[in-house]
Structure 1
């Protein structure tokens, strides 16, 4: 016995509704798939962009690593040069110190020679000569006074005056020579002391300048490393 038409229509209507629902679901699923595809495409583009950035970053890192390796090589060479310079500096300083000791010894020897001369004794001798000159001058004046009454100095007295004047002249020359010798020795002693002081100061200044140059080199190397 066949089903009534109303029942068939209901089934058809129900099937139609179900098909519509399925169609809507398919449409919704397609929309979601399309949306996911678009999201996936955007994600792929982001991944590609990230890969490009990562590749660029890797290249930058490799370049920086290469630069660091080159810098390390230069630093190693520079440090080796600095070690050699420092060794040379120590050698030079040792030689300068030995030279200084030799000069100091020479100065001490010259000072010892000056002490042997005994400047105080020399000054005393000069004072004695000056006193003798004064006495001779007084004798000459006395002789001249004695002969002055007659207006003529006797031959004997004139000869004495002549000899006294000659002796006076010799004494004056000797006095002048000793004074010059004393002054010369005092100047030499002072000059040697000043020269020694200058040599010491020069050595100190040269050593300080070398140390400052080494410190500046090390500072530059540190700045290059930290740059």
Structure 2
């Protein structure tokens, strides 16, 4: 499964470098990727460590980096074949980045570019199994609420205003995620039928890779 647009991914990360900085330990460099087989591939973030090390750092200390860099974890996990974990971090990224995008206008396009690069492949894959898809997203949403926030906040917002904004957009993201799923047996049947009509697979997640760790919930 290939990413939707390498250009939008590269543009996103070049823009990211102009917007905010990562701790040196979490920076990474990935060679420009080309071709249809590129899996959600990334662009350069720095030259300190490799992408795998950067992703491992972010997984261990997610609050140490701006949440837009959770996309680095998605990229690495997907490339490893750990698709379930990559989807988890994608929905974690979506939830935590929402407040930033809504309160910092310059970050709207960046979030959109990252979503365009990662979302189609991940959502299409996860949507084959509604129960598994919903579980992954629900665990990501729950986990996001538990990990500490990144130390920074958008310009012009006080600490209390930022806390309020985070709470507001967390709930809106959660409500929006839940709303996309069929609610009745008949709706689920129709969903599966439409997916098959488009030639898409319906059934247990294909090649999900490693399970989600117990503490990712």
**TM-score of the superposed pair, with normalisation by structure 1:** 0.21
Which structure shows the higher helix fraction? 1
Which has the bigger relative contact order, CA under 8 A and spacing at least 6? 1
Bigger radius of gyration? 1
